[in-house]
Amino acid sequence: MTADRFFDEMTGAGEDIRQPYAHYHQWFSQQDADRLDKKSREAEAFFRRSGITFNVYGQADAQERLIPFDLVPRILGSQEWARLARGIEQRVAAINAFIHDIYNRQEILRAGRVPVELIANNDAFLPQMIGFTPPGKVYTHIVGTDLVRTGEGEFYVLEDNARTPSGVSYMLENRETMLQMFPELFSKIKVKPVSDYPKNLRKSLAACAPLSAGTKPSIAVLTPGIYNSAYFEHSFLADQMGAELVEGHDLRVLDGHIAMRTTQGYKRVDVLYRRIDDNFLDPLTFNPESMLGVPGIMDVYRAGNITIANAPGAGIADDKAIYSYMPDIIEFYMGEKAILKNVETWRCGEPESLKYVLDNLADLVVKEVHGSGGYGMLVGPAATKAEREAFAEKLRARPGNYIAQPTLSLSTVPIFVDKGLAPRHVDLRPFVLVSPQGINIAPGGLTRVALTEGSLVVNSSQGGGTKDTWVLED
């Protein structure tokens, strides 16, 4: 790919500054490069002091890292965001309806819009959830929808994160850092705030509490512990919400409810924002060797005495093979066409698709259907012939475990480098809260940026960084 194939969000397809960036570019052009370089180092020091790190699995020599932060914001106009927000809301509502249907009447399967075997043979499908509806009929309390852009008004959904989406703490800290470093910018440019996310998160979770919880439900965040890659976020969100941060050994079943250990004895928990996977949630129901969960919590859950966010089994909706059916899912439940496009997807479990993918590996991105964090994937154009051949063997051995997509011409946003500004590829993860009271979308989200020139992999675990994301006021 050549640079002129990519849409730059600051300059568009040419050299003229796009309207959302007009005021920022004017400000930037008046700044001293040495000052900006100093501010960039200050941001790194701030992140280090605040403990804003993530863990890298499998790398003993680099267990904790700072996520690199770039001080050039990604800016979206108010009308751009309004269309995105409508599409995201439509998609998230359809996902919630789909999960409820799959675990109850299964009308979409009977209608033939989604293959039965795609559900029945799916590791993310939990038979234990059949016939059970969570409080408020909400399965996906927190959703992270990954978006990419290829041109003016051309946005695609790359994937849906309906299990335990992470990254919102970086969205909040990125904004706080920018406010501290460049307060004058926010007096010149009116940017929608994101600081109310923790308050909205608590309000949204409380609205999903069981009926027995009363008017002031107790909320706790369940973490696997300090060695988890996203522990900083677990601790940060608990603190910001005024909720307790607990581990599995802090919880027990008591009088038909879940209770957490406190200095005053055990206190009932009404809503548990869990940041552990389904398989580790209850050793009596799932993995018997799990030390991270709470024995018996699924019995309490099915009795209607606790809300678990997100609901067990919600991962059926962010399976990458199910993703390929999202346009049908949206039309089936919402009665309208999808506002946001899917990326063309080949399901490798289908013989014709597998043949096409094997014949075109050099041009495709291949992903595990349950993969995340940029692991277990092949970026065909960036891989060597030997890497593609090795991956082809994996495909032939377990074709149903993979999907493939074209290598999109992801948009770029400038980053600050020694010589000024340089374009780098980005994606966007807006964060969505769902409750019986409605759907709330934080304006903006987390922009992840591939700091390596030419790279399309934005994941922090693969060397990516982050940017503050601005949505302009009208």
Full pLDDT tens readout for the chain, 474 residues: 344 578 999 998 777 899 999 999 999 999 998 999 999 888 888 887 776 665 544 444 445 667 889 999 999 999 999 999 999 999 999 999 999 999 999 999 999 999 999 999 888 999 999 999 999 999 999 999 999 999 999 999 999 999 989 999 999 999 999 999 999 999 999 999 999 999 999 999 999 999 989 889 999 999 999 988 889 999 999 999 999 999 999 999 999 999 999 999 999 999 999 999 999 999 999 999 999 999 999 999 999 999 999 999 999 998 888 999 999 999 999 999 999 999 999 999 999 999 999 999 999 999 988 766 556 789 888 899 999 999 999 999 999 889 999 988 899 999 998 878 999 999 999 999 999 999 999 999 999 999 888 887 787 666 689 999 999 998
Look at the domain 344-407 and name its fold: Dna Ligase; domain 1 (3.30.1490)
Tokens representing residue 364 in the block: 């495709």
Q: Are 394 and 377 in contact (CB under 8 A)?
A: no
- CA triple 82-432-195, angle to 5 deg: 85
Long-range contacts, stretch 186-189, CB < 8 angstroms, 24+ apart: 188/23, 188/27, 189/23, 189/24, 189/27, 189/470, 189/472
User: What's the whole-model pTM score?
Assistant: 0.92
Q: Alpha-carbon torsion 370, 372, 374, 376, what sign?
A: negative
Report which DSSP code applies to 57: T
Domain ranges, ordered by start, for the chain = 344-407
Other CB atoms within a 10 A radius of the CB of residue 19 amount to: 13
- CA triple 7-8-11, angle to 5 deg: 120
